[in-house]
Chain A
Amino acid sequence: MVENNNILETKGLTIQFGGLVAVDHIDMQIKRNSIMGLIGPNGSGKTTIFNMLTGLYVPTGGDFLFEGESMAKKTATQIARKGIARTFQASRLCLDLSILDNVFIGMHSKQNHWLGSAVFNRKALSAEVTQAHEKALYLLNTFNPELVEKSGRPAGSLAQIDRRRVEICRAMAMEPKLLLLDEPSAGMIPEEIATLMEDIQKIKSESKDITIVIVEHVMAVIKMITEHVFVINFGKKIAEGSYAEVSKDPEVISAYLGKHGAV
């Protein structure tokens, strides 16, 4: 019953680096088809949680269930193939490769890359490439039509906001069920943040079955698009609820919002 409602559940998720407990017994329920926020001051462990959820770090304690299946012991590759995609705070595109190649890698698990067919079966490959190309252009066109013309250029030639968009396209190319956005507004000016919010809405409208968890420092973004927020401080969950609720929570205000002096 729970599994039907929650796409992801963490149960006492913990990671310890030497003596430091970076994430301490976090319990979260992520509702299917929702947009959830994950907030907290710098260094509170948000990205570390994402790194565990995508298998880059192995939790030292606890577990997390994705669609009811225990994932804590799985590798990053296996988790990605189950349908969890992510973007990174400092975008991790391959800057020397073309924008298209960067999007294509998102489709990796669906591609036929047996060496024999790469070398001998050119027809099947070129049909597959044509199809992938159309899909990639469709995604790029959704987020910024200008990217279609630029699609052959190296990703390194793009401005920050477009790099983030290409990263979102790469994640979307995976057709994920759960998308983790790690501080998508990092390094953006206010106008760009406004378009970023539109982009996130587009992700929702593009896919019928997608759940988004977003780590963000810009409260306007969280306020606008999330329905439920988890607040983390020093690796512990200190509050959860709608943005309106948590922003009134005295502990949250003292830990985080209070520092900025405003709600």
Chain B
Amino acid sequence: MTEIGKHKLSGPLGVLAVLLLEAVLFFAVMAIFLIEGGWVLIAEIVVGVAILILLNRIPGIKTGLKAAFTAHKTIAIIGALVLLLLPPFLLVKSAYWLFVLINAVMFIIACLGLNLQLGSTGMMNLAGAAFMAFGAYTAGLLSLNAGWPSWATLLAGMLVTGLFSIILFIPVLKTKGHYLALVTIAFQFMVVILVENVEFTGGPQGLKNIPYLTFFGYSFNEAINLGFITLHKYANYYYFVLLLAIVVALVCYRIYRSWVGVTVATIRDDEVAARTNGVRINYWKLVIFVLGNCFIGLSGAFFAHLIGFISPPNFVFDRSLVMVSIVILGGMDNVFGIILGSILLITLPEKLRFIQEYRFLIYGLLLIIMLIFKPKGLIPFVPRDYKDLLTKAKSKLTAPAAKNAGGEQNG
């Protein structure tokens, strides 16, 4: 069955399957934003998740689609990019939901950073919001006080956050598991208290009138007039944050597919085994911790420019918890899981506003249900199986050249 699926789907039928799957996925996600009635939405999500789980259960479909995607890579990428351009058009009447979407994409960036730490390397970081604050305040202060251009404030927000995460690094090295969680919680609270009480951050009043993004004369504060349609100014932010998210996701995916991914996964699963195989644990923890926080800081810097006004309540512990929930519920060490998790967990509370105070009750209930039925997340970690290399390498095993390969390795 698997084989049949593979052959059929690598032909022209595969192109159709690829584009169809992409469109279905895209519109399923967009439906969350477009559907007005709250209960209809909940029904949609339940059905969507059920379909996702069902698809996961049928191995033939999965391998067939996978083969189709590898066979038509270019088409798949172009199709996905075209679809991703659509949301500002679809949400042209509701700037608010476009804003929520931007928020969700922003959280994708932050949570991909957190995923490097928590999902890939197993370092709990409950100070995500604090690191977001570093990025946001750096960008805010530099653009307000020093008049730095947008590209520089975003870059600085990212790098300064990475730099500050080194402060936390000694405790990160010395502690593990629950203790590390406690250390990061303490850090989170310290940062918020600090920001509230230090003068140059504006204290509880925060920073006001942070300039909107401007790149080489192009201001993000103007609506995009395409003649037949006028897109809200948020469309600028959407396309920009989308670009950032694609770059970050690509970097994260490549790390996952590289030796670095293998190395940090070994650290996560068994530190002793990693050490006896010559892995420099402290070095890798430092690299991943700083890199992850850089991404969190980048998303914070973007946030400052998007909102234009930041204050301590934006970076409280709750936000850190949301980020950790996204990583755990989306799927540890899976880029796609993080993307789906961010969209669901950022959008749902907004969508559930129709039940007012009960919304967090429902939200919490949904989380518990998901954790019971999908304890490893919506899209769980996929072991790297190197299937694409198998056939070729196997033929080398039986060929006489295999002996030489053996000799080399022993030499």
**Which residues of A come within 8 Å of B, CB atoms?**
54-56, 75-77, 80-81, 85-86, 88, 92-98, 100-101, 104-106, 108-109, 111-113, 115, 118-119, 122, 125, 128-130, 133-135, 137-138, 141, 148, 151-154, 170, 174-175, 206-208
From A132, which residue of chain B is reached at the shortest CB distance?
B259
| B276 & A54 in contact (Cβ 8 Å cutoff) | yes
CB neighbours (8 Å) of A77 from chain B are 275, 278-281
Is B381 interfacial (CB 8 A cutoff)? yes
Known pairs A95-B269, A96-B383, A118-B255. 12 more at Cβ < 8 A?
A: A56-B272, A76-B276, A80-B278, A94-B265, A94-B273, A97-B384, A112-B259, A118-B258, A130-B389, A137-B393, A137-B397, A152-B383
Residue of A56, A101, A138 near B405 (CB, 8 A) is A138
- B265 to A: closest C-beta gap in Å: 6
| B272 & A92 in contact (Cβ 8 Å cutoff) | yes
**Which residues of B come within 8 Å of A, CB atoms?**
251, 254-255, 258-263, 265-266, 269-270, 272-281, 287, 291, 381, 383-387, 389-390, 392-394, 396-397, 402, 405-406, 409-410
- A26 to B: closest C-beta gap in Å: 20
| A101 & B265 in contact (Cβ 8 Å cutoff) | yes
From B258, which residue of chain A is reached at the shortest CB distance?
A118
| A98 & B276 in contact (Cβ 8 Å cutoff) | no
- B267 to A: closest C-beta gap in Å: 10
| B409 & A108 in contact (Cβ 8 Å cutoff) | no
- B401 to A: closest C-beta gap in Å: 10
CB neighbours (8 Å) of B259 from chain A are 104, 108, 111-113, 118, 125, 128-129
- A252 to B: closest C-beta gap in Å: 30
| B386 & A151 in contact (Cβ 8 Å cutoff) | yes
Distance A104 CA – B274 CA, assembled complex (angstroms): 11
Distance A124 CA – B393 CA, assembled complex (angstroms): 18
Distance A86 CA – B272 CA, assembled complex (angstroms): 11
| A115 & B410 in contact (Cβ 8 Å cutoff) | no
Residue of B275, B287, B393 near A56 (CB, 8 A) is B275
Residue of B255, B263, B291, B381 near A96 (CB, 8 A) is B381
Residue of B275, B291, B383 near A101 (CB, 8 A) is B383
| A137 & B394 in contact (Cβ 8 Å cutoff) | yes
CB neighbours (8 Å) of B393 from chain A are 130, 133-134, 137
| B291 & A115 in contact (Cβ 8 Å cutoff) | yes
CB neighbours (8 Å) of B278 from chain A are 77, 80-81, 108-109, 174
- 20 CB contacts below 8 A, A to B, read A55-B276, A76-B275, A76-B276, A77-B275, A88-B272, A96-B381, A97-B269, A100-B385, A108-B277, A108-B279, A115-B255, A118-B255, A118-B259, A128-B259, A134-B396, A152-B385, A152-B387, A153-B383, A206-B410, A207-B410
Report the tally of A-B residue pairs with Cβ distances under 8 A.
146
| B386 & A98 in contact (Cβ 8 Å cutoff) | yes
Distance A141 CA – B259 CA, assembled complex (angstroms): 22
Distance A154 CA – B281 CA, assembled complex (angstroms): 23
| A135 & B386 in contact (Cβ 8 Å cutoff) | no
| A98 & B383 in contact (Cβ 8 Å cutoff) | yes
With most chain B CB atoms within 10 A of its CB, the pick from A86, A92, A109, A207 is A92
From A130, which residue of chain B is reached at the shortest CB distance?
B389
Q: With contacts A94-B270, A97-B265 known, is A115 near B260, CB below 8 A?
A: yes
CB neighbours (8 Å) of B261 from chain A are 118
Residue of A108, A130, A206 near B263 (CB, 8 A) is A108
Residue of A111, A133, A206 near B386 (CB, 8 A) is A133
Distance A154 CA – B409 CA, assembled complex (angstroms): 25
Residue of A56, A76, A137, A175 near B410 (CB, 8 A) is A175
Residue of B272, B274, B389, B409 near A138 (CB, 8 A) is B409
Q: With contacts A104-B259, A208-B410 known, is A94 near B266, CB below 8 A?
A: yes
| B274 & A105 in contact (Cβ 8 Å cutoff) | yes
CB neighbours (8 Å) of A154 from chain B are 383
Q: With contacts A105-B279, A113-B263 known, is A152 near B390, CB below 8 A?
A: yes
CB neighbours (8 Å) of A80 from chain B are 275-278
Distance A175 CA – B407 CA, assembled complex (angstroms): 12
- B174 to A: closest C-beta gap in Å: 15
- B285 to A: closest C-beta gap in Å: 13
CB neighbours (8 Å) of B390 from chain A are 137, 151-152
CB neighbours (8 Å) of A129 from chain B are 259, 386, 389
| B266 & A97 in contact (Cβ 8 Å cutoff) | yes
Q: With contacts A119-B254, A151-B386 known, is A135 near B409, CB below 8 A?
A: yes
Distance A170 CA – B410 CA, assembled complex (angstroms): 14
- B164 to A: closest C-beta gap in Å: 20
Distance A92 CA – B271 CA, assembled complex (angstroms): 10
CB neighbours (8 Å) of A130 from chain B are 389, 392-393
From A56, which residue of chain B is reached at the shortest CB distance?
B272
CB neighbours (8 Å) of A95 from chain B are 269
CB neighbours (8 Å) of B251 from chain A are 119
Distance A208 CA – B394 CA, assembled complex (angstroms): 25
**Which 5 interchain pairs have the tightest Cβ spacing?**
A152-B385, A118-B258, A94-B269, A80-B278, A76-B275
- A169 to B: closest C-beta gap in Å: 12
| B273 & A113 in contact (Cβ 8 Å cutoff) | no
- B402 to A: closest C-beta gap in Å: 6
| A148 & B397 in contact (Cβ 8 Å cutoff) | yes
- B382 to A: closest C-beta gap in Å: 9
- B195 to A: closest C-beta gap in Å: 31
From A208, which residue of chain B is reached at the shortest CB distance?
B410
Distance A134 CA – B395 CA, assembled complex (angstroms): 10
| B409 & A101 in contact (Cβ 8 Å cutoff) | no
Distance A15 CA – B236 CA, assembled complex (angstroms): 65
Distance A105 CA – B409 CA, assembled complex (angstroms): 16
Distance A76 CA – B372 CA, assembled complex (angstroms): 39
Q: With contacts A97-B266, A104-B259, A113-B263 known, is A153 near B385, CB below 8 A?
A: yes
